[in-house]
């Protein structure tokens, strides 16, 4: 079933989903010009797996390698975790703390009881949603989800954890999935960027 949920929600929803406590990127600010940068991006050329380092480790790497602000050459302050959700208040006065949704899935879980009643309390059942999501990116990129506003499609299938059989499983039981390694995905992307072949040819890139 396709549903449409609100793009804004109260803080409790995002606490439950883990986004208040863990949906963040490491931020580092220049103490001179006050420009902000992704701390893990600053150290990509001097250390491996920069994206897995803690804020404390990123601060240490930046200082040990004397990495300076690319804008003005100033020194960086300590790195810290910056939550990527857009914060707002809901209601008059001070209102209740709320956020713009960073993905569309929350509404499906909040509406679980309604969906369950619609499906007559029988599992499995699913919900699909297509809509806007919002992320307060430190450094927006020309990617699919590294933007501050983008359209997202998600599907959630709810199954009984004690009985994960699906009545239509046999239709797809013999279908093989082709999974590409990170390196293979990079090569495929480079090839497709330069490819001038037909769509059919592009879909069978090596």
What average pLDDT does the segment 44-55 reach? 90
Q: Which residues contact 61 (CB under 8 A, 6 or more apart)?
A: 43, 46, 47, 50, 53, 67
User: What integer pLDDT is reported at residue 143 of this predicted model?
Assistant: 67
pLDDT of residue 74: 95
For residues 16-43, average pLDDT? 93
Q: pLDDT tier at 48 (50, 70, 90 boundaries)? A: confident
Residue owning tokens 């439950």? 16
pLDDT of residue 130: 94
Q: Which range among 32-41, 79-88, 107-116, 190-199 shows the weakest confidence by mean pLDDT?
A: 190-199
- pLDDT value at residue 118: 94
Instruction: Give the whole-angstrom CA distance, residue 151 versus residue 190.
Output: 25
The reported pLDDT for the residue numbered 201 is: 47
What gap in Å lies between CA 18 and CA 51, rounded to an integer? 19
């Amino acid at each position: 079933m396709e549903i449409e949920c609100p793009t804004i929600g109260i803080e409790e929803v995002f606490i439950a989903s883990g986004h208040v406590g863990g949906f963040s990127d490491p931020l580092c600010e220049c103490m001179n010009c006050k420009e902000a940068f992704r701390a893990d991006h600053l150290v990509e050329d001097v250390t491996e797996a920069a994206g897995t380092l803690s804020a404390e480790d990123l601060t240490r790497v930046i200082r040990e390698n004397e990495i300076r602000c690319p804008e003005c050459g100033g020194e960086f302050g300590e790195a810290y975790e910056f939550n990527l959700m857009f914060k707002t208040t809901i209601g008059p006065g001070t209102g209740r703390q709320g956020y713009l949704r960073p993905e569309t899935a929350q509404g499906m879980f909040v509406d679980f009881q309604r969906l369950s009643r619609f499906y007559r309390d029988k599992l499995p059942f699913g919900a699909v949603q297509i809509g806007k999501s919002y992320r307060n990116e430190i450094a927006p990129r020309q990617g699919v989800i590294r933007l501050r506003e983008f359209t997202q499609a998600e599907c959630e299938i709810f199954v009984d954890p004690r009985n994960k059989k699906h009545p239509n499983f046999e239709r797809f039981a013999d279908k093989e999935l082709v999974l590409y390694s990170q390196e293979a995905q990079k090569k495929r992307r480079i090839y497709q960027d330069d490819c001038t072949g037909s769509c059919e040819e592009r879909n069978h890139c090596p």
